[in-house]
Amino acid sequence: MFSEENHWVEGCKAFILAILLAVIIKTFLFASYEVRGESMLPTAQDGERFIVNKIGYEFLTPQRFDMIVFHANEEEDYIKRVIALPGESLMYIDDVLFINGESVEEPFLDERKEDFRGIYTQDYYFDGVIPENHVFVLGDNRPNSTDSRRLGPIPIDEIVGKVDLRFWPISELGIMK
């Protein structure tokens, strides 16, 4: 009887430890995120699910073209792509991105631009430079995205984390670049 009871107690301890670890991981390290809408087409489809690395930006800074999740308002988180970093100027002219006056390629848009008639990213000029501790974000579906063109630069402390892994649908499982 003693060994059976001891086995039950050990099983409960293992179960409680597993739940505690899951809560810690979800709260501090990683979170799952489901895409809502079409603002990141073709990179991210409505209903796809991603793992967001919540701890990465505690030690590193966002990089150009990182896909991030951030708090857009008190009720919603958005997924977008970092386009410009603190201290940079940016503009779009004739569908070309210019950072600090230099053209920058956006290869992740090539497929979408080929299928689109007209200018994919409308001319845009950000007045001044991106403030310290902020980033400028855009959706990959430029004609249909609520992003920094409307919201303004995003404070880095509003970033939930970097999108690292697509896990749903299973057929699209993979690390995000």
In terms of Cβ atoms closer than 10 Å to its own Cβ (0-12, 13-18, 19+), residue 162 is: buried
**Is 39 marked active-site?**
yes
Residue carrying the six token digits 């499982």: 173
The active-site residue, picked from 13, 26, 80, 171, is 80
Q: Is 80 a catalytic residue?
A: yes
List the structure tokens of 83. Answer: 């386009």
Looking at the DSSP assignment, which residues form a beta bridge with residue 81? 67, 138
Q: Mind telling me the catalytic residues?
A: 39, 80
